[in-house]
Amino acid sequence: MRHTKVKDLLNSTTTLHEVNAKGWVRTFRNNQFIALNDGSTINNIQCVVDFENTPDETLRRITTGAAVSVTGTLVESKGAGQKFEIQVTKLEILGDSDAEKFPMQPKKHSLEFLRENAHLRVRTNAFGAIMRVRSVLSFAVHSYFQEKGFVYVNTPIITGSDAEGAGEMFKVTALSFDNTPRTEDGKVNYKEDFFGKETNLTVSGQLEGETFAMALGQIYTFGPTFRAENSNTSRHLAEFWMIEPEVAFNDLNDNMDLAEDFIQYVIKYALDKCSEDLKFLEGRLLEEEKSKPQAERSEMALLDKLNFVLENNFKRVSYTEAIDILRDSTPNKKKKFNYIINEWGADLQSEHERYLVEKHFKCPVILFDYPANIKAFYMRLNDNTEPGRETVRAMDILFPGIGEIVGGSQREERFDVLVEKMKALGIDEEELWWYLDTRRFGSAVHSGFGLGFERLVLFVTGMTNIRDVIPFPRTPMNAEF
Ligand code: ATP
Ligand code: MN
């Protein structure tokens, strides 16, 4: 007999004569009530064991974490909180779980402890919910772009270009450390390496993505990205997933419209498809915040916060306006910021971004037109900027509690301007010959952005540490599992 998912049993419209469910025991109460979970839903199904007619030996093996198969009738539940339960007629222990040793006890564990047990934390309510939401959001990403006719492009994970400068790179090599081939001047001779040149793990698929946009019109990537940034923050991973749309003939305003519409779509999708999981995560958050001082609690519950983002336009603010706001802000005047904003041209730190979003505007913010010299070489230089105050058509989207969630720009489409910029920054033209070809042959205005998928999952689940929204996080000094 084929087993039925717990989710389907709980959603049944009638009682059923014989059903079979398979899952893991969450708790076993009074020698009678099993709370069974199979991962199909946050909810457990209650299985009522006929303990008088079940051997003690079997009852003793119904422990938290054990895998069991239960067969019985689906009846209306007299207990509160569930419509149906299973009156068990046959119980089989599929896999024992030593109650003394199983790390996921039915009690509250710290997130740190759970991180050390990332292979088992997914058996908790919170992590089950987070990982289901993550899965649904992934699908929403594809659904949005596919509905709009974008082509999904798989850009290379091993790249031969290190020019983008988005972050520190991990080297990819097949050379031996013991007997490394050297050139005459003692440097590693990458000509003898697997690819005959130096290669790295990608930090972004943008440059390759641009070449595809200049043929297919609208493209997106969604894949793993690697940055060897040694910053141990709650928002950085060494391996994360990035979504990078790139669109021919879009200018910066179109790019901002696309990013806003996209984010609202995927959040709405999660609200529609994951309401039970999100309600659970909202409750978890409220519970957690009870122990915090009033001032540190969120102003909105999770679902309100998500709906707020759907119902309100993101505030669009130029870098120059933002600097004025920050310079006049109380924390700047009282020197509460670690980096005091004195003049135009300063790079914004996350403390400034969070001030703008959380204290000043109290909504998602799109900052645009940044100083050229704090942004990447490929960004479109604005026409009519004052000498010494050149700006580029860049935009960053800042979210409450997260900071930067999106970084994007209109790209420099003019061959001469681009080459000049590369020269000034010492970027090798030869190495990016293929990128420059897009500007040599049929160049056009185009724009795109990168959205860090885990930062999106952080926002939607209300979690605060990025290590808790990816199955097996990679961070400095940690590559367990
Ligand atoms: P940050 O300033 O937060 O380090 P960044 O400016 O380096 O971000 P971009 O190079 O613009 O980021 O990358 C695009 C997006 O990828 C960011 O907006 C963010 O959402 C995400 N991102 C960047 N670095 C990381 C990381 N180490 N871990 C997770 N997500 C990241
Ligand atoms: Mn970074």
CATH of residue 238: 3.30.930.10
Q: Are 291 and 354 within one domain?
A: yes
Does residue 110 sit within a domain?
no
**Of 92, 29, 97, 13, nearest to 63 (Cα)?**
97
Residue with CA nearest ligand 1 atom 16:
452
> Does ligand 1 have an atom closer than 6 angstroms to the CB of 104?
no
Q: Cα 389 to chain center, whole Å?
A: 34
Is the pLDDT at 87 greater than 70? The verdict is: yes
pLDDT band at 78 (very low <50, low <70, confident <90, very high): confident
Q: Are 210 and 355 within one domain?
A: yes
Pairing of strands 199-201, 171-172: antiparallel
Is the pLDDT at 292 greater than 90? The verdict is: no
| Mean pLDDT of the region 389-395 | 96
Does residue 177 sit within a domain?
no
Q: Is the CA virtual torsion 224, 228, 230, 231 positive or negative? A: negative
Residue with CA nearest ligand 1 atom 26:
236
Is the pLDDT at 317 greater than 70? The verdict is: yes
pLDDT for residue 291: 87
pLDDT band at 258 (very low <50, low <70, confident <90, very high): very high
> Does ligand 1 have an atom closer than 6 angstroms to the CB of 133?
no
Does residue 347 sit within a domain?
yes
pLDDT band at 164 (very low <50, low <70, confident <90, very high): low
Q: Are 226 and 310 within one domain?
A: yes
| Mean pLDDT of the region 161-172 | 78
What separation, in Å, do the N-terminal and C-terminal C-alpha atoms of the chain show? 35
**Of 422, 466, 419, nearest to 440 (Cα)?**
419
Alpha carbon distance 366, 180 (integer Å) = 48
Does residue 480 sit within a domain?
no
> Does ligand 1 have an atom closer than 6 angstroms to the CB of 353?
no
Q: Are 282 and 401 within one domain?
A: yes
Residue with CA nearest ligand 1 atom 23:
452
Average pLDDT in the chain: 95
Q: Are 58 and 155 within one domain?
A: no
pLDDT digits (tens, 9 = 90+) for 151-160: 999 999 999 8
Does residue 400 sit within a domain?
yes
pLDDT band at 162 (very low <50, low <70, confident <90, very high): low
Q: Are 69 and 157 within one domain?
A: no
Q: Which domain covers residue 311, as residue numbers?
A: 123-168+203-468
Alpha carbon distance 400, 249 (integer Å) = 31
Does residue 210 sit within a domain?
yes
Contact present, 19 and 86 (Cβ < 8 Å): yes
Contact present, 64 and 26 (Cβ < 8 Å): yes
> Does ligand 1 have an atom closer than 6 angstroms to the CB of 166?
yes
Q: Are 13 and 149 within one domain?
A: no
**H/E stretch holding 37:** strand 33-37
Q: Are 354 and 443 within one domain?
A: yes
Q: Are 360 and 437 within one domain?
A: yes
Contacts of 323 (CB under 8 A, 6+ apart): 341, 343, 344, 346
Does residue 229 sit within a domain?
yes
pLDDT for residue 453: 98
pLDDT for residue 230: 84
Q: Are 216 and 265 within one domain?
A: yes
What is the domain count for the chain?
A: 2
> Does ligand 1 have an atom closer than 6 angstroms to the CB of 203?
no
Is the pLDDT at 255 greater than 80? The verdict is: yes
Is the pLDDT at 1 greater than 90? The verdict is: no
Does residue 115 sit within a domain?
no
Is the pLDDT at 252 greater than 80? The verdict is: yes
Any idea what the CATH number is for the domain that residue 21 is in? 2.40.50.140
| Mean pLDDT of the region 55-60 | 96
pLDDT digits (tens, 9 = 90+) for 105-131: 988 899 999 999 999 999 999 999 999
